[in-house]
Structure 1
């Protein structure tokens, strides 16, 4: 049996039905080949349950040793030993993974015996190139359970709010990124705010109490123009009648007002993921939402009255 044929048989026995093409290189056709494994043990596949010993799973690269012996009785023992000093360590390498894939080493297991000891490592699968498609369902589950800090929602106004004034509304948001491990692959999950739905708690103003935008809005500053309907925000035009609408009241001076008015923001987040270290982000199917609520305020109306004194204290009548 030629050296190439023996090595190929040995590799196929250990590597199962992998589609990778393995091309071992031997110096001497009369040499014997022993295949083993080396590397650090990983957490058990059933980690997270601590109810006693169990089979130990780990990933490690495959090592091939040229022992300079005869081909009779090829030794196929799979151990964690590296090649002896007198042996030549060979490389069996499949096609490389692409820049957007992640290479996982061969998967091995040490079976737990009844007496509490472990068997020699057993080869379960060959090296793999993990693609974003492989990770997509796991990334979707991770995104669905992702904790996103609730954005701060602001209706920029001083209490009490006055009917007829346009008040800017804005949200303080930014993309959120978490680092996770999926299928033994380091992955980044990113949540981007993509839509904002404002409910201004205003059942009496024509046009409805809600506004949906893709813009988080902006605060007004002293050097900015007066906010108008082009700004993300809201104008309360009607309070409702205190005699016919629950929630609207009349004070002792006859002024109408609505207490406990709140603004609620629902932020919609779109998920993306990528294998850590790569540049391509993949969109995750579905979205998640967060809800923010402002502190309650009182809404009233500015009423015109005739007075005899102006703002400087001069009497005009």
Structure 2
């Protein structure tokens, strides 16, 4: 800051000041803004007033000068903010009405979308963004083989009119249920059908970070990742055995 004539243009310096009220009569404090290059952002000088032992304040003291900063200057701060960012775990869905049936491919999908946080870094307003980058599904199926799936595809639900979901869809097929009486949760019902209870699917979402100065469109990547975990409610998987019967759907005996 400097002193300038009241109501006049600032065309010459009349003395640098370090505190409000330090200008002579007839002048007032005028602020000098440092010009910054394209892609740089102005950071104002830092001032402080220290508290004396008697509770009064010292004269204002300038700790830093005005300066121009770049996204590279903000990178370390942005990384710390991203690492402590509270990301809401997305909803994970294994589509299908319970109980699920063995040898049927059930689609799995998530609602994951980018999440933003606005912070101030070194006096500059910055948007921190977490983008869902990778999805690891654990289908809680130790008996069929290949009970985990890692993909960059969030999956999609089946809708009426879609083709029957197959293994090209993000999802899983339960083909075995374990041994009734030996494996936890596996038993046999009154009709002799094996079933397994308490099956819960877990989704681990990996998030990547980036940041931009608020009001600009250029994003800068942040090293490192964050993970969240989502879990579906427990369900039951059971067999659907085929049986030969003598009656058709109209009740006619055909045997």
TM-score strictly above 0.5:
yes
Q: In the alignment, which of 140, 147, 156 is matched to residue 201 of structure 1?
A: 140
Alignment: residue pair count:
248
Unaligned 5+ segments in structure 2 are 7-13
Unaligned 5+ segments in structure 1 are 1-61, 68-73
Match for residue 161 of structure 1? 100
- Report deviation, 1:99: 3.8
Alignment check: 8 A CA contact 1:100 1:275 kept: no
Task: Give the distance between the partners of 2:178 and 2:16, measured in 1 at CA.
Answer: 86
Match for residue 261 of structure 1? 199
Query: Structure 1 residues 107 and 298 mapped into 2: Cα distance closer, same or farther (>3 Å)?
Result: same
Structure 1 residue 80 corresponds to structure 2 residue 20 = yes
Alignment check: 8 A CA contact 1:64 1:92 kept: no
Structure 1 residue 230 corresponds to structure 2 residue 173 = no
Task: Give the distance between the partners of 1:172 and 1:79, measured in 2 at CA.
Answer: 54
Structure 1 residue 297 corresponds to structure 2 residue 253 = no
- Report deviation, 1:169: 0.6
Query: Structure 1 residues 303 and 92 mapped into 2: Cα distance closer, same or farther (>3 Å)?
Result: closer
Match for residue 218 of structure 2? 280
TM-score by length of 2: 0.89
Q: In the alignment, which of 230, 241, 247 is matched to residue 185 of structure 2?
A: 247
SS across alignment from 1:142:
helix
Match for residue 129 of structure 1? 68
Alignment check: 8 A CA contact 2:212 2:220 kept: yes
Task: Give the distance between the partners of 1:114 and 1:311, measured in 2 at CA.
Answer: 95
- Report deviation, 1:65: 3.2
- Report deviation, 1:93: 5.3
Structure of higher CA gyration radius:
1
SS across alignment from 1:138:
helix
Alignment check: 8 A CA contact 2:200 2:231 kept: yes
SS across alignment from 1:106:
coil
Task: Give the distance between the partners of 2:103 and 2:94, measured in 1 at CA.
Answer: 15
Q: Deviations over 1:3-55 (max 9, x none)?
A: xxxxxxxxxxxxxxxxxxxxxxxxxxxxxxxxxxxxxxxxxxxxxxxxxxxxx
Task: Give the distance between the partners of 2:166 and 2:29, measured in 1 at CA.
Answer: 75
Task: Give the distance between the partners of 1:212 and 1:195, measured in 2 at CA.
Answer: 7
Q: Deviations over 1:203-248 (max 9, x none)?
A: 1113x10000001000001121111011111111111221543332
Please show how residues 137-176 of structure 1 align to structure 2 within 5 Å: 137-176=76-115
What RMSD in Å do the two structures reach over aligned CA positions?
A: 2.3
Q: Deviations over 1:114-153 (max 9, x none)?
A: 2221122122211021222222122111111111111011
TM-score by length of 1: 0.72
- Report deviation, 1:103: 1.0
Match for residue 119 of structure 2? 180
Please show how residues 54-133 of structure 1 align to structure 2 within 5 Å: 62-65=1-4, 77-81=17-21, 86-87=26-27, 92=32, 94=34, 96-133=35-72
- Report deviation, 1:270: 0.3
Task: Give the distance between the partners of 1:91 and 1:152, measured in 2 at CA.
Answer: 51
